[in-house]
């Protein structure tokens, strides 16, 4: 059995690959695992190539000359014989539960100075390094000298199977999850010098000499101690400066790796990839943090980004985080720049072999269809096959002396188990892969249509990877950002848009210039948080004046990203914002009375109540008061207790704004009513007795419509779809709980046909 005769092309094909770690298998098992992988329908294999595994105690590298399980060339040859393309992932970091995160033991043994120093001068036990330290880069170059020529000789333009190479892995993940920025003297000096170059020594001195600080711009010896233990007056300035500086460093690090790979013989026809991290607690809510850290590494279009998605089941709870993460990633890419999922979860979820987490077999199908519907063109099953962790070449006295910390068996949640037998969900993996690969050409050609609503991705709202542990001020600042950013309070905004048929994409907001060329042909939905820079607020208001339509969902911003007063948007709208009325659920953090709940009711307008129904309970509500009675402000909803407006419509120049300074519940009639005030209607109107049907309309360049329909709810349902006032199908169709389908309509046809039904056929 062979995969496709033509090698996969990551630039133009829809590629479904499977991760298999050759170094965790006996070479006698390689052919069997690849043949089993072929049975799933994948057309490519991805694999890490770990520095740690190939490095011998004397510092040399073995690629099979002495140890057969390291014969990478033979493994690549077996892939090529089966028509399987290969995505190689040589690090330097690879993680993959490996010790040292996959770096060779020689690095720290020879260069302990590369370890990062963090808050208060502490050094973490994790492998957190200065990515741009000359000693680390020299060691990484030495690894690349050994491995990249081997890979380059086997790239697709030289007749080999390699169609893509990943640069490093999850850059910045370890510093984030441990809250350990690199504040080594060398890095701090680079930070301060960059600030001086961007402004002046006097400006930097003024910025960091507030409060009881020992920072003196003329004395570099004071820089490290002062910034590693900042005083309260400095923390938000450092928060911004450190976050933006680190983004730039990551981009320079990837540029170094990219140049190194190209210089060692990998041609421009082989795409280079960057892997993005960010799932936390089986949710993707935090994932845009990783995008915020790394988006500059692919913003020039020279590398392709891919996500790591670990959320278990896709349901109504996890939907908005995953939807927003993919949309935000796409918003950072150029129009013709591919993106995808470099680690796509297809296992049982039982990663600790404790039977404490079990993911249903339908979860992978739901996530796969949603990823493709939102434009992903690469999906890599991680892991497709398990294996065993061999012993290290030298004992290190850590308990098992193996290459990884998971024990001997590895990948026990995969569809192909470590011993080669098939897990119960293997058949479902085959079914969903075949469905996608059979229609791969159409699915890749059908790109998401431009929706009526786009979500604003304020990249600085996710710059929360570092916070000084001793600062209550920064803790409160970060808590406010995490509560309100992205998908809005309780993630309701994105959930309402996704299940309401609006199929929103996203717009990157990385400063005031984001609005210079932003079209005003659709609604911008923004969860602003209480913090938004004044110049961004002003540019947003100017965009509305030019005819833009804006939906704000959350507390209206009154401070910039350093906590200073910033009211350009309030001033433009002619509003004053009152004190937030908070639910007792937040009494420990906010000024709220335990047991107290705000309630919001629709306000009667000239056309009647804005939505039908009674008052609704909310987590917070913020009164909005018009400064002038003749400003044309229309109250749409109010606090039931006081009657104060908290949802208003405001005309501004040629445009309009609906401000919902509350977390309204996810009731379709409420969100439809608010969006109708801004002349936005669903891309596809869904009629169903289940509030969990997601629709994503796509279209090919020659006019073929492909509409993805996914039921993420636990209920079977009947679905009727309508576009432009006309039924999309001849009659409603049944859609089983937690399954998906897609419909196809060719030019000239009046009705779409069901082209695929999900796993519950």
**pTM beyond cutoff 0.85:** yes
- Rounded to whole angstroms, what are the CA distances from 102 to 25, 94, 127, 169, 651? 17, 5, 10, 10, 57
The angle formed by the CA atoms of residues 351, 355 and 357, to the nearest 5 degrees, is: 65
Q: What is the pLDDT of residue 612?
A: 85
Sorted by sequence, the CB contacts under 8 Å of residue 736 that are 6+ apart come out as: 711, 716, 758, 760
CATH number at residue 300: 3.20.20.80
Transcribe 413-445 into DSSP letters: TSSB-TTSPBPTTHHHHHHHHHHHHHTHHHHHH
Q: Is residue 85 part of a domain?
A: yes
Shared-domain flag, residues 167 and 186: no
Tokens of 43: 């057309």
**pLDDT band (50, 70, 90) for residue 6:** confident
Q: Is residue 253 part of a domain?
A: no
Shared-domain flag, residues 156 and 223: no
Q: Is residue 661 part of a domain?
A: yes
Tokens of 479: 């808590």
Asked whether residue 761 carries a pLDDT value surpassing 60, the answer given is no
* Distance separating alpha carbons of residues 377 and 333, to the nearest angstrom: 13
* Distance separating alpha carbons of residues 714 and 692, to the nearest angstrom: 8
Q: What is the pLDDT of residue 356?
A: 84
Q: Residue 52: what are its φ and ψ, rounded to 5°?
A: -55, -40
- Nearest CA-CA partner of 411 in 10, 15, 22: 22
Q: Residue 105: what are its φ and ψ, rounded to 5°?
A: -65, -25
Three-class SS state of 715: coil
Determine contact, residues 688/718, Cβ cutoff 8 Å.
Answer: yes
Tokens of 515: 């609005």
Sorted by sequence, the CB contacts under 8 Å of residue 722 that are 6+ apart come out as: 684, 685, 687, 728
Asked whether residue 370 carries a pLDDT value surpassing 70, the answer given is yes
Point out which residues pair with 551 in neighbouring strands.
525, 658
Q: What is the pLDDT of residue 4?
A: 63
**pLDDT band (50, 70, 90) for residue 1:** low
Shared-domain flag, residues 325 and 350: yes
CATH number at residue 706: 2.60.40
Question: Using omega within 30 degrees of 0 as the cis cutoff, is the peptide bond preceding 92 cis?
Answer: yes
Q: What is the pLDDT of residue 595?
A: 59
The number of residues making up the chain comes to 761
Asked whether residue 452 carries a pLDDT value surpassing 80, the answer given is yes
CATH number at residue 666: 3.40.50.880
Q: Is residue 263 part of a domain?
A: no
Determine contact, residues 489/285, Cβ cutoff 8 Å.
Answer: no
Of 414, 444, 474, the last residue of a domain is 444
Sorted by sequence, the CB contacts under 8 Å of residue 625 that are 6+ apart come out as: 575, 576, 577, 578, 644, 645
Q: What is the pLDDT of residue 588?
A: 40
Mean pLDDT for 414-430 is 95
Q: Is residue 191 part of a domain?
A: yes
Determine contact, residues 183/227, Cβ cutoff 8 Å.
Answer: yes
Q: What is the pLDDT of residue 590?
A: 47
Asked whether residue 3 carries a pLDDT value surpassing 80, the answer given is no
Of 622, 655, 676, the last residue of a domain is 676
The secondary structure of the chain in percent helix, strand, coil, rounded to multiples of 5, reads 35, 20, 45
Burial class, 268, CB count within 10 angstroms (exposed 0-12 / middle 13-18 / buried 19+): exposed
Torsion sign (Cα): 442, 324, 290, 259: positive
Q: What is the pLDDT of residue 589?
A: 44
Torsion sign (Cα): 7, 8, 12, 14: positive
Shared-domain flag, residues 144 and 192: no
**pLDDT band (50, 70, 90) for residue 357:** confident
Shared-domain flag, residues 138 and 207: no
Asked whether residue 586 carries a pLDDT value surpassing 60, the answer given is no
Determine contact, residues 561/475, Cβ cutoff 8 Å.
Answer: no
- Nearest CA-CA partner of 160 in 45, 260, 257: 45
Q: Containing domain of residue 543, as a range? A: 453-676
Shared-domain flag, residues 390 and 466: no
Determine contact, residues 655/520, Cβ cutoff 8 Å.
Answer: yes
Tokens of 503: 């199929």
Shared-domain flag, residues 658 and 515: yes
Asked whether residue 270 carries a pLDDT value surpassing 80, the answer given is yes
- Kind and range of the H or E run holding 138: helix 134-152
Shared-domain flag, residues 705 and 661: no
Sorted by sequence, the CB contacts under 8 Å of residue 71 that are 6+ apart come out as: 27, 63, 64
Q: Is residue 379 part of a domain?
A: yes
Bin 287: left if φ > 0, else alpha if -120 < ψ < 50, else beta. Answer: alpha
Least confident of 288-297, 582-591, 692-701: 582-591
* Distance separating alpha carbons of residues 221 and 215, to the nearest angstrom: 9
- Nearest CA-CA partner of 323 in 487, 551, 509: 487
Instruction: For residue 102, give the DSSP letter.
Output: G
Distance of CA 48 to the CA centre of its chain: 21
Average pLDDT, the chain: 95
- Nearest CA-CA partner of 50 in 99, 87, 17: 99
Burial class, 728, CB count within 10 angstroms (exposed 0-12 / middle 13-18 / buried 19+): buried
Q: Is residue 2 part of a domain?
A: no
**pLDDT band (50, 70, 90) for residue 479:** very high
Q: Is residue 23 part of a domain?
A: yes
Shared-domain flag, residues 168 and 278: yes
Shared-domain flag, residues 501 and 516: yes
Asked whether residue 593 carries a pLDDT value surpassing 70, the answer given is no
Shared-domain flag, residues 134 and 279: yes
Mean pLDDT for 244-250 is 98
Transcribe 485-539 into DSSP letters: STT-GGGHHHHHHHHTT---EEEEE-SGGGGTS---SSEEEE---SB--HHHHHH
Sorted by sequence, the CB contacts under 8 Å of residue 545 that are 6+ apart come out as: 572, 652, 653, 654, 655
Residue-wise pLDDT for 67-97, tens only, equals: 999 999 999 999 999 999 999 999 999 999 9
Asked whether residue 758 carries a pLDDT value surpassing 70, the answer given is no
**pLDDT band (50, 70, 90) for residue 309:** very high
Determine contact, residues 344/367, Cβ cutoff 8 Å.
Answer: yes
Residue-wise pLDDT for 46-66, tens only, equals: 999 999 999 999 999 999 999
**How many Cβ atoms are within 10 Å of 446's Cβ, its own excluded?**
25
Q: What is the pLDDT of residue 432?
A: 87
* Distance separating alpha carbons of residues 285 and 313, to the nearest angstrom: 14
Torsion sign (Cα): 709, 710, 713, 718: positive
**How many Cβ atoms are within 10 Å of 269's Cβ, its own excluded?**
11
- The percentage of the chain sitting over the pLDDT mark of 70, rounded to a whole number, equals 97
Mean pLDDT for 173-192 is 98
Mean pLDDT for 278-287 is 96
Shared-domain flag, residues 507 and 546: yes
Q: What is the pLDDT of residue 196?
A: 98
Domain count, the chain: 4
Of 676, 701, 727, the last residue of a domain is 676
Residue-wise pLDDT for 507-521, tens only, equals: 999 999 999 999 999
- Nearest CA-CA partner of 47 in 68, 25, 28: 25
Mean pLDDT for 669-684 is 97
Largest CA distance in the chain: 84
- Rounded to whole angstroms, what are the CA distances from 366 to 100, 147, 448, 483? 35, 37, 17, 27
Q: What is the pLDDT of residue 756?
A: 78
Distance of CA 360 to the CA centre of its chain: 23
- Rounded to whole angstroms, what are the CA distances from 652 to 541, 544, 681? 8, 6, 21
**How many Cβ atoms are within 10 Å of 202's Cβ, its own excluded?**
10
Sorted by sequence, the CB contacts under 8 Å of residue 574 that are 6+ apart come out as: 626, 627, 628, 631, 633, 650
């Amino acid at each position: 059995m062979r995969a496709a005769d033509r090698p996969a092309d990551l630039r133009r094909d829809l590629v479904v690959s499977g991760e298999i770690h050759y170094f965790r298998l006996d070479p006698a098992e390689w052919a069997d695992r690849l043949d089993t992988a072929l049975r799933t329908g994948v057309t490519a294999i991805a694999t890490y190539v770990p520095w740690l595994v190939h490095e011998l105690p004397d510092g040399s590298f073995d690629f099979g000359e002495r140890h057969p399980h390291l014969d990478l060339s033979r493994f690549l040859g077996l892939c090529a014989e089966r028509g399987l393309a290969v995505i190689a992932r040589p690090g330097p970091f690879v993680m993959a539960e490996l010790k040292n995160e996959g770096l060779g033991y020689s690095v720290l043994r020879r260069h302990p100075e590369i370890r990062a120093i963090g808050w208060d001068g502490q050094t973490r036990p994790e492998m957190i390094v200065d990515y741009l330290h000359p000693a680390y880069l020299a060691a990484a170059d030495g690894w690349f000298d050994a491995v990249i020529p081997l890979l380059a000789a086997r790239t697709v333009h030289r007749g080999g199977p390699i169609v893509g190479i990943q640069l490093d892995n999850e850059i910045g993940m370890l510093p984030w999850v441990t809250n350990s920025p690199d504040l080594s003297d060398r890095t701090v000096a680079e930070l301060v010098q960059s600030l001086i170059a961007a402004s002046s020594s006097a400006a930097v001195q003024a910025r960091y000499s507030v409060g009881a600080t020992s920072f003196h711009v003329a004395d570099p010896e004071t820089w490290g101690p002062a910034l590693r233990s900042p005083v309260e007056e400095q923390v938000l300035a450092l928060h911004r400066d450190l976050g933006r500086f680190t983004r730039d460093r990551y981009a320079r690090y990837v540029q170094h790796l990219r140049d190194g790979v190209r210089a060692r013989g990998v041609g421009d026809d082989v795409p280079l990839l960057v892997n993005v991290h960010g799932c936390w607690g089986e949710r993707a809510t935090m994932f845009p943090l990783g995008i915020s850290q790394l988006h500059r590494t692919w913003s020039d279009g020279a590398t392709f980004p891919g996500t790591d998605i670990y959320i278990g089941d896709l349901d109504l709870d996890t939907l908005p985080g995953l939807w927003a993460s993919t949309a935000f990633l796409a918003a950072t890419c150029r129009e013709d720049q591919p993106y995808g999922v470099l680690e796509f979860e297809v296992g049982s979820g039982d990663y600790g072999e404790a039977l404490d987490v079990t993911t249903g077999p339908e979860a992978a199908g739901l996530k796969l269809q949603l990823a493709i519907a939102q434009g992903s063109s690469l999906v890599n099953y991680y892991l497709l096959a398990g294996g065993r962790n061999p012993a290290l070449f030298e004992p290190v006295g850590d308990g098992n002396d193996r290459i990884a910390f998971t024990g001997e068996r590895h990948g026990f949640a995969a569809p192909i188990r470590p011993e080669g037998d098939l897990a119960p969900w293997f058949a479902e993996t085959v079914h969903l892969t075949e469905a996608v690969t059979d229609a791969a050409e159409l699915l890749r050609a059908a790109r998401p249509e431009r929706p009526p609503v786009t979500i604003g991705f304020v990249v600085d709202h996710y710059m929360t990877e570092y916070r000084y542990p001793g600062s209550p001020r920064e803790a409160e600042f970060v808590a406010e950002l995490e509560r309100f950013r992205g998908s809005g309070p309780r993630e309701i905004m994105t959930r309402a848009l996704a299940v309401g048929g609006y199929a929103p994409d996203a717009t990157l907001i990385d400063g005031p210039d984001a609005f210079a060329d932003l079209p005003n042909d659709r609604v911008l939905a923004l969860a602003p948080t209480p913090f938004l820079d004044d110049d961004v607020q002003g540019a947003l208001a100017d965009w509305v004046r030019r005819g833009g339509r804006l939906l704000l969902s959350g507390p209206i911003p009154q401070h910039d990203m350093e906590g200073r007063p910033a009211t350009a948007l309030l001033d433009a709208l002619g509003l004053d914002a009152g004190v937030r009325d908070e639910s007792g659920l937040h009494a420990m953090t906010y000024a709220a009375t335990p047991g107290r709940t705000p309630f919001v009711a629709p306000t009667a307008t000239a056309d009647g109540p804005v939505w039908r129904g009674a008052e609704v309970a909310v987590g917070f509500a913020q009164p909005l008061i018009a400064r002038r009675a003749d400003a044309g402000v229309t109250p749409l909803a109010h606090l039931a207790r006081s009657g104060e407006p908290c949802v208003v419509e405001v005309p501004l120049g040629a445009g309009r704004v609906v401000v919902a300074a509350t977390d309204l519940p996810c009731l379709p009639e409420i969100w439809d009513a608010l969006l109708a005030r801004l002349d936005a209607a669903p891309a596809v109107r869904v009629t169903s007795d289940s509030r969990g049907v997601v629709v994503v309309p796509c279209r090919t360049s020659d006019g073929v419509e492909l509409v993805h329909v996914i039921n993420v709810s636990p209920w079977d349902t009947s679905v009727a779809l309508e576009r432009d006032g006309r039924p999309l199908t001849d009659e409603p169709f049944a859609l089983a709980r937690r399954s998906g389908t897609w419909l196809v309509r060719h030019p000239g046809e009046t009705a779409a046909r069901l082209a695929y039904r999900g796993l519950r056929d």
